[in-house]
Copies of this chain bind each other. A is one copy, B any other.
Amino acid sequence: MKRISALICFAVLFLAAACSGGKQQGQMHPSLALTPAGVRQIRSGVNKAPLFQSAVRDLYAKADEALQRPVEVPVPKDGGGGYTHETHKRNYYDMYYMGLAWQISGNRAYADKVRDILLEYAKLYPTLGYHPMTLSPVRGKLFWQTLNESVWLVHSAMAYDCVYDAIPAETRSVIEENLLRPVARFIMEGTPDNRANFETFNKMHNHGTWAQAAVGMAGFAMGDEDLVRQALYGSREGGGFIRQLDCLFSPDGYFTEGAYYHRYAIWPFVLFAQAIDHNMPELGIFDYRDGIITRSVGTLLNMAYEGEFFHINDAMEKGYDAQELICAVDIAYAARPQDRFLLDVVQRYQGTVSVSDAGFKVARDIAAGLAEPLRLSSALYRDGAEGKDGGFAVLRGRGGSTLTFKATSHGLSHGHYDKLTIAYYDSGHEVLSDYGAARFHNIEAKYKGHYTPENKSYAMTSIAHNTLVADETSHFGGKIKESSKHSPRILAYSDEDPAFQYVAALDSCAYTGIRMSRWVALTELPFLQGPFVIDVLKAESDKPHTYDYPLHYNGHMVSLSVPYTRASETMKAFGTAPGYRHLWLEAEAAGAEGSTSYTWLCGNRLYSFTGLSTPASEVKLLRSGAGDPDFNLRSEPCLLLREKNLRSRTFAGCLESHGNYDPRVYETASDMEHSCIGIELEKDDAEGVSLLYSFKGGERLKVCINLINNSMTIKY
């Protein structure tokens, strides 16, 4: 209700603004990344903002390079990484850089070149049908998918906005009528025979956000209120940018696809919001939904370890230095200058600012010494527009060690089948890892730069994650439709005591007839050198199952506490089931009575996992890369505990960081042996679980989980 009335209120404001005549759309240029007032401030204050100065130097270098390049607007042919794709991509960056360079420098050559490129596009565009590649259901014209076309228009609109006043009206009219408006209409409506674009434009999805930002920003640049209105409120009921702000982020600013796509999704949000703020300040877009845009930037920044985003779902290596973040952090700061930690992000991780009003404010305030340290925190981020679809927890220890727990909804098409997954970061490394996506972005030879088939057959499967797998089957049978219907339930979350933080969640839908719940804690124990992670994963069923508990890690195997057999002359794939056929079985062993420990080396530390086991437990050492005809998978190791033919099983374990291994400087090694020497499951019933961990120094740790009031305690 509240949301709907906010939306109505926005629409009314919009009408008021549009009708008042007090503010003529399209009259002020530039009005997207820059404003006339901003340009004046920049010109007079640039000497006092070294970071901006160097950003402008970089900009000029790029703009000058673009100036030298012959205008080249090829007929679209290739996919990602291919020639025409990369050329059209380069063109929008070229126009964007030159547009900004013209505004800052006043050198008309930049503006003329932008005009020339736009005119060349205005010749080509009307001749184009759909792109010849049919990989995407939402095909573009310049690119194989409309998504890239939207990104093209976002940048071209910003470029056009910058050079608007430098182009005669009749030339503008050619550019607008033959290019910008047709591209905007195509993105918004598609073609009569193919409504995929129309659907996407009104969809609650980040491709929709891009489409809306593109159309809206082109609208502002051309002074086309109709385009702006449709971008803001949809071209049909239930669509539009404002509504995306309600739907795509949870109340905690969590973006349902996870950090990697959050990074991408935030870009059109902040770019369009900045344009809205410049053109329609009365809408107060940055205040909407309690400032959801800037709050979401904060959430995204906290979804990272040492500047690198967590790898859940279809993630690749991205961090604070991604261009989207440079832009987002600048715009967030301009909107909320009280968030001075944003300046620290810029200083420490980005080292540059965007050439925009916002980027200038950031550079100026950094120079004025206003930066405050970024402090990452523990947090539970609820998922879902209403915050009711599970969540993602981040537990941070004193030294920066970070335990993550994924109990979110599926996460749309980039989601993976892994409920209740953990990852762990320590001493600069992703120690317990998430494979992320199977993709070599923009490398043509690797499935044209697209997600490779192994993304579905391995990376998305449950076995590729640090979660429970029953009967070699992925959660929800690997079916997105099913997986999208259910989310885990967060049972508990506590970060009050920095030395004992925990989170727990329950899932009873991933497998029919199996109830799985997981309790994980990040603790600091006075008798241990490093952090101590407790993991209790309960699987309960009426029928017998094979339960697999994988731990994917980074590093090199050091030791296993039981004798094992290593594949020596021949090595076989671990299985034939989805996911399983992509793992080589490097070694196997039977568990010890009581507990089994495994130690590996990662960076300058050792990590030891100790888990409950019996001689019937099977221990497997695995490595990704089997069943991979095109070398699309990275070669990464995994430890797996398997329990066969059991109705219920509680996997209880712990992970220690220990040792100080310095082979480089002083050649010293200390604390190379793990401390936990035994785990006893003292109680495990409907009321709770009670565990006793023993350590080599004679210490004991009692862990109690109360399943009635959903709480956890430790005692030592």
A15 within 8 A of B: no
Given A316-B663, A556-B631, verify A570-B573 contact (CB < 8 Å): yes
A5 within 8 A of B: no
Q: B-facing mask of A580-594, CB < 8 A → 1, else 0?
A: 010010110000000
The smallest C-beta distance from A217 to any residue of chain B, in angstroms, reads: 20
Query: In the complex the two chains form, is B557's CB within 8 Å of A631's CB?
Result: yes
A631 to B669, CA, bound (A): 20
Q: Kindly list chain B residues whose C-beta atoms are within 8 Å of the C-beta of A323.
A: 665-666
Query: In the complex the two chains form, is B569's CB within 8 Å of A581's CB?
Result: yes
Contact of A570 among B86, B322, B559, B571 (CB under 8 A): B571
A195 within 8 A of B: no
Query: In the complex the two chains form, is A442's CB within 8 Å of B568's CB?
Result: no
Q: Kindly list chain B residues whose C-beta atoms are within 8 Å of the C-beta of A449.
A: 669
A339 within 8 A of B: no
Query: In the complex the two chains form, is A559's CB within 8 Å of B445's CB?
Result: yes
Given A558-B440, A599-B445, A672-B443, verify A665-B569 contact (CB < 8 Å): no
A224 within 8 A of B: no
Q: Which of A74-91 contact B (CB under 8 A)?
A: 81, 86, 89-90
Chain B residue, CB-CB nearest to A559? B445
A319 within 8 A of B: yes
Q: B-facing mask of A301-319, CB < 8 A → 1, else 0?
A: 0000000000000001111
Q: B-facing mask of A546-583, CB < 8 A → 1, else 0?
A: 00000000001111000000111111110000000100
The smallest C-beta distance from A664 to any residue of chain B, in angstroms, reads: 6
The smallest C-beta distance from A495 to any residue of chain B, in angstroms, reads: 30
Contact of A663 among B441, B629, B666, B673 (CB under 8 A): B441
A668 to B449, CA, bound (A): 11
Query: In the complex the two chains form, is A628's CB within 8 Å of B572's CB?
Result: no
A229 within 8 A of B: no
A670 within 8 A of B: yes
A623 within 8 A of B: yes
A540 within 8 A of B: no
The smallest C-beta distance from A85 to any residue of chain B, in angstroms, reads: 10
Query: In the complex the two chains form, is A634's CB within 8 Å of B443's CB?
Result: no
A444 within 8 A of B: yes
The smallest C-beta distance from A78 to any residue of chain B, in angstroms, reads: 12
Q: Which of A420-469 contact B (CB under 8 A)?
A: 440-446, 449
Query: In the complex the two chains form, is A81's CB within 8 Å of B317's CB?
Result: no
Q: B-facing mask of A13-49, CB < 8 A → 1, else 0?
A: 0000000000000000000000000000000000000
A385 within 8 A of B: no
A163 within 8 A of B: no
Q: Kindly list chain B residues whose C-beta atoms are within 8 Å of the C-beta of A661.
A: 442-443
Q: B-facing mask of A595-636, CB < 8 A → 1, else 0?
A: 000010100000000000000000001010111111100110
Q: B-facing mask of A661-689, CB < 8 A → 1, else 0?
A: 10111111110110000000000000000
A321 within 8 A of B: yes
The smallest C-beta distance from A639 to any residue of chain B, in angstroms, reads: 12
Query: In the complex the two chains form, is A570's CB within 8 Å of B572's CB?
Result: yes
A566 to B599, CA, bound (A): 31
Query: In the complex the two chains form, is B443's CB within 8 Å of A667's CB?
Result: no
The smallest C-beta distance from A442 to any residue of chain B, in angstroms, reads: 4
Given A321-B665, A601-B443, verify A573-B568 contact (CB < 8 Å): yes
Query: In the complex the two chains form, is B558's CB within 8 Å of A321's CB?
Result: no
Query: In the complex the two chains form, is B81's CB within 8 Å of A669's CB?
Result: yes
Query: In the complex the two chains form, is B668's CB within 8 Å of A568's CB?
Result: no
The smallest C-beta distance from A608 to any residue of chain B, in angstroms, reads: 11
Q: Kindly list chain B residues whose C-beta atoms are within 8 Å of the C-beta of A599.
A: 445
Query: In the complex the two chains form, is A570's CB within 8 Å of B568's CB?
Result: no
Query: In the complex the two chains form, is A628's CB within 8 Å of B566's CB?
Result: yes
Q: Determine which residue in A317, A568, A634, A667 has the highest number of CB atoms from chain B within 10 A of its CB, and name it.
A: A667
Q: Kindly list chain B residues whose C-beta atoms are within 8 Å of the C-beta of A556.
A: 440, 631, 634
Query: In the complex the two chains form, is A442's CB within 8 Å of B317's CB?
Result: no
The smallest C-beta distance from A613 to any residue of chain B, in angstroms, reads: 19
Q: Which of A86-121 contact B (CB under 8 A)?
A: 86, 89-90, 93
Query: In the complex the two chains form, is B442's CB within 8 Å of A663's CB?
Result: yes
Q: B-facing mask of A155-174, CB < 8 A → 1, else 0?
A: 00000000000000000000
Query: In the complex the two chains form, is A627's CB within 8 Å of B568's CB?
Result: yes
A304 to B123, CA, bound (A): 55
The smallest C-beta distance from A329 to any residue of chain B, in angstroms, reads: 14
The smallest C-beta distance from A158 to any residue of chain B, in angstroms, reads: 16
Chain B residue, CB-CB nearest to A671? B86
Q: Which of A509-564 contact B (CB under 8 A)?
A: 556-559
Query: In the complex the two chains form, is B570's CB within 8 Å of A669's CB?
Result: no
Query: In the complex the two chains form, is B558's CB within 8 Å of A445's CB?
Result: yes
Q: Which of A360-396 contact B (CB under 8 A)?
A: none
A81 to B587, CA, bound (A): 26
Q: Which of A390-419 contact B (CB under 8 A)?
A: none
A443 to B558, CA, bound (A): 8
The smallest C-beta distance from A373 to any residue of chain B, in angstroms, reads: 22
Q: Which of A317-339 contact B (CB under 8 A)?
A: 317-319, 321-323
Chain B residue, CB-CB nearest to A633? B556
Chain B residue, CB-CB nearest to A446? B558
Query: In the complex the two chains form, is A568's CB within 8 Å of B626's CB?
Result: yes
Query: In the complex the two chains form, is B668's CB within 8 Å of A442's CB?
Result: yes
Given A570-B570, A572-B570, verify A635-B664 contact (CB < 8 Å): no
Chain B residue, CB-CB nearest to A558? B445
Query: In the complex the two chains form, is B321's CB within 8 Å of A569's CB?
Result: no
The smallest C-beta distance from A540 to any residue of chain B, in angstroms, reads: 34
Q: Determine which residue in A89, A442, A557, A627 has the highest number of CB atoms from chain B within 10 A of its CB, and name it.
A: A442
Query: In the complex the two chains form, is A584's CB within 8 Å of B571's CB?
Result: yes
The smallest C-beta distance from A27 to any residue of chain B, in angstroms, reads: 33
Query: In the complex the two chains form, is A442's CB within 8 Å of B667's CB?
Result: yes
Query: In the complex the two chains form, is A322's CB within 8 Å of B664's CB?
Result: yes
Chain B residue, CB-CB nearest to A572? B570
Q: Kindly list chain B residues whose C-beta atoms are within 8 Å of the C-beta of A317.
A: 663-664
The smallest C-beta distance from A622 to any residue of chain B, in angstroms, reads: 12
A558 to B666, CA, bound (A): 38
A667 to B324, CA, bound (A): 11
- Which 6 pairs from chain A and chain B are nearest by CB? A442-B669, A445-B559, A557-B631, A571-B571, A441-B663, A566-B629
27 A–B contacts, CB within 8 A, in A order? A86-B668, A86-B669, A90-B668, A318-B663, A318-B664, A319-B664, A321-B664, A323-B665, A440-B558, A440-B601, A442-B667, A443-B558, A443-B601, A443-B661, A443-B669, A449-B669, A557-B631, A566-B630, A567-B626, A568-B629, A569-B572, A569-B581, A570-B572, A570-B573, A571-B572, A586-B625, A586-B631
